[in-house]
A and B are shown apart, each in its own frame.
Chain A
Amino acid sequence: MRYLQEQEIRDIANGSAILGTGGGGDPYLGTLAAIAAIKEFGPPAILEVSELADDALVAFPFIVGSPVPGVEKFPFGLELVRAFRMLEGQLGRRITAVMSAEIGGANSMIPMSLGARVGLPVVDGDLIGRAFPEIQLTTLTLHGLHASPFALADEHGNGVVLNVIDNFWAERIARAISIEFGAICVGIAYPISGAQAKTATLHGTVSYAGSIGRSLREAKAGKLDLVGAVLDATGGVVLFRGNIVDVRRQTQRGWAVGEAKISGSEVFAGSTLSVRFQNENLVAVRDGTTVASVPDLITIVDAETGAAITTENLRYGFRVAVIGIACEPIWRTPAGLALAGPQHWGYENEYVPIEPHCRTAARN
């Protein structure tokens, strides 16, 4: 049995920031909380999806809310355990393993905190392979599996267990509840069997995030190109380099919606890239032409350190590189695009696969 130790948790967090595509919250706080939890309760084991018994009961803890409240009122402690116990109470069964709903951003760390606190293994996989801001945007939805029963809890001890007819309602109702909880709370949902986990989840994505983080760490130690390290670990491409010249954002229905404009430098001089986001970066438009779109991954990183910059931390003047990474194949199926493609986010454009731009970008 392998256990998650501090170094690996840090690597996973740094990799998950890249996979967070600007959203999912800054993993810094989640990482601190996970490390504090393993110091207090001992490290959780990590299991391959294939190691799960078919009758195992797996559930997916995550944060529900908005990033700005999350850096003031972080909900990584007893809130999590209460939601977990509430879900077990509703199911009338003991949960046997926890798994990441979303490998991108702070949510990647939540199963580590919870696993340590309740003494359960963490499964190496997730439901998205990146970050998405809505609860129904998972591979389980594509496989017809239900988010509910779904428990939500706040710091006071208030809790709600949702029973909803489909995963879209789970999103709507949980979002409304989270606002009452201060726009930030924790939830645990999608209780499934080990057998279902084997067919309907993305395998090995926790290790994948860890490999990105390790690649960054080793590149830093070897004084190598850090952006290059991210490309090597992900197979991604540099879509753009430049300075952020404007960031506008507003909060709509619980999401941070906005746009960052980047003025090109080096070979991109004279060009402008606009990155539009709704918690996560969704579409990158260069001089009027879409060069990358959701569900492919668009991540803005610091040009020097290769560290991912979350949408709430984007600021005027930062020197950045914009990296595009191909999404998990399931998101490119007709059903995947219907669920999470550009039109879902209100963009009229068709999905533009990132690959054609890879060649252009590769020359740069």
Chain B
Amino acid sequence: MRIGIDVGGTNTDAVLVEGMEVLASHKTPTTADVGSGIISALENIFRKGSSRPDQISAVMIGTTHFTNAVVERRRLLKSAAIRIALPATQALPPMIDWPSDLREAIGNHVYLVHGGYEFDGREISALDDKEIREVAADLKRKNIRSAALTSVFAPVNGKMEERAAEILREEIPGIYVSLSSEIGRIGLLERENATIMNACLQELAITVVRSFRDALNRLEITAPFYISQNDGTLMSSVYAEKYPILTFASGPTNSMRGAAFLSGAQEGVVVDIGGTTSDVGALAHGFPREASAEVEIADVRTNFRMPDLLSFGLGGGSIIRQANSHMTIGPDSVGYELTEKALIFGGDTLTTTDIAVAAGQLDLGDRRKVARLSPELIKSALAQIHHMVEASIDRMKTSAEPIPVILVGGGSVLISKPIAGASEIRKPEHYAVANAIGAAIAQVGGEVDRVFMLEGSSRDEALASAKREAISKAVDAGALADTVKVVDVEEVPLTYLPSNSIRVRIKAVGDLAMS
């Protein structure tokens, strides 16, 4: 028996799953402390599923907490972007293509220092310890406690990043340091972007992972707990504390895997309406369609491989504002404060959930509190909500033909009318907890990322040996041996020498073995 938990911006969902069967599910508002919401959800599923903590073999947690923090520019730690590259790359400084409000939110502290590597491992310049110490002095002066270090060709050699991190830690004990060599792949700007976003989430990561751990301890759950990564595989909680960026887009991946699992649909468009944002993606053969292009997160380009998703600011907690005759919905949301701020709960903020209750689509809170909303307002808000969803489906579709639309997520109660472009609308059972189900069925991965020197025609042998190693790593990480498959192979040539070298990155995944 395993537990899947999804901690969203608005709701915390938990499911109890055994094999292909969902034994119990529960949805409860996300709490400011995160932990008490989890405890409440888990107590409920234990009761509903008549089961006990000691029957649980694994807990999988998916969270959009970190994505939401960046999207909403909230609780971001002021961070430094230090690029080790001079005199190269000056035409495009760090964060050049970022939205200015996000750059402001984390402080726009950009440093270019000497160093970096060529494609073949030569140094562009030597790392200058003194220069790093000067940056450290400046960070100290500005009280910046987190730094992202990105060197040119760090995937070939991460030593300069490591040395610079060592110096920063000497100068500023306790500083958080994120290294690009640990996070991304080749492509300086995109890897640097992901590293900077990781840096600004360091404090939040520690708080959030600790609250997960405390909640499970409180309930005396001793099973190991894992956190969902963007590719739908699991990472240990300790790893997640250092690399919260790897949770980005795990929510959508989980939601789509959960939706495919629940609806039985192999093809279609999945619309996941959460509390703060909606994510729209396409299912191909029961799996999320992957983006071929670089994926933008909160309008920042990264080189993670992710489901091809469109996100926009519509959720159950989205704030509705009226100015003159113009109405806006979102992109901001009351989030976990829905039960205090929404009108139906006695608050003073008009949210999309209030509209759903006023329109009679949902029975929640105190309906009398929205009785004085004008019918025109309700009608116009509903029309705008439907229009936002239709527009996004339209953008994801590959042809003009109508296709099945699978609606999931707690915010899907906002949708009451037919959707243009949909051949049918499916709201599968347990649909409101698809994310948690996706987390619960998540798999374990093993990755190999190494440079092979090829002599003659040994490319196939190199690939075969790397594949074997990735498979055995997946098994070591807890995958059931006969379920492990190689899901991703990437080769990047590195040198111009007659004896070719290739960088090979291979990922294998399998089902988590249960004791």
Contact = CB atoms under 8 A, between A and B. Distances in A.
A77 B90 contact: yes
Contacts of A76: 91-92
B361 to A, nearest CB: 28
Contacts of B395: 223
B87 A73 contact: no
A72 B491 contact: no
Nearest to A179: B496
Q: Chain B interface: which size bin?
A: 35 or more
A113 interface: yes
B134 interface: no
A204 interface: no
B398 A304 contact: yes
B369 interface: no
Contacts of A73: 85, 88-89, 116, 118-119, 124, 152-153, 188
Contact of B96 (A36, A72, A249): A36
B203 interface: no
A69 to B, nearest CB: 4
A91 interface: no
B267 interface: no
A250 B500 contact: yes
Nearest to B400: A223
Interface string A53-74: 0000000000000101101111
B96 A32 contact: yes
A29 B493 contact: no
B92 A74 contact: yes
Contacts of B290: 317
A182 B91 contact: no
Categorize the interface residue count of chain A.
35 or more
A244 to B, nearest CB: 10
B394 interface: yes
Interface stretch (A5-13, A187-195, A251-259, A322-330): A251-259
Main secondary structure of the interface of B (DSSP, over half): loop
A347 B363 CA distance: 71
Contact of B118 (A29, A183, A312): A183
A29 B97 CA distance: 10
A68 B186 contact: yes
A71 to B, nearest CB: 5
B189 interface: yes
Interface string A33-63: 1001100000000000000000000000000
B502 interface: yes
Interface string A281-310: 000000000000000000000111101010
Contact of A155 (B87, B97, B398): B87
Interface of A: 28-29, 32-33, 36-37, 66, 68-69, 71-78, 113, 155-157, 179, 182-183, 223, 247-254, 256, 302-305, 307, 309, 312-313, 315-319
Given A66-B119, A250-B500, 11 more contacts: A36-B92, A71-B186, A73-B85, A157-B87, A183-B118, A183-B119, A223-B395, A247-B491, A251-B496, A304-B308, A304-B398
10 contacts: A32-B92, A32-B97, A66-B496, A75-B88, A183-B118, A249-B491, A252-B500, A304-B308, A305-B292, A307-B292
Interface of B: 85, 87-92, 96-97, 116, 118-120, 122, 124, 152-153, 186-189, 289-290, 292-294, 301, 308, 394-395, 398, 400, 454, 459, 488-496, 500, 502
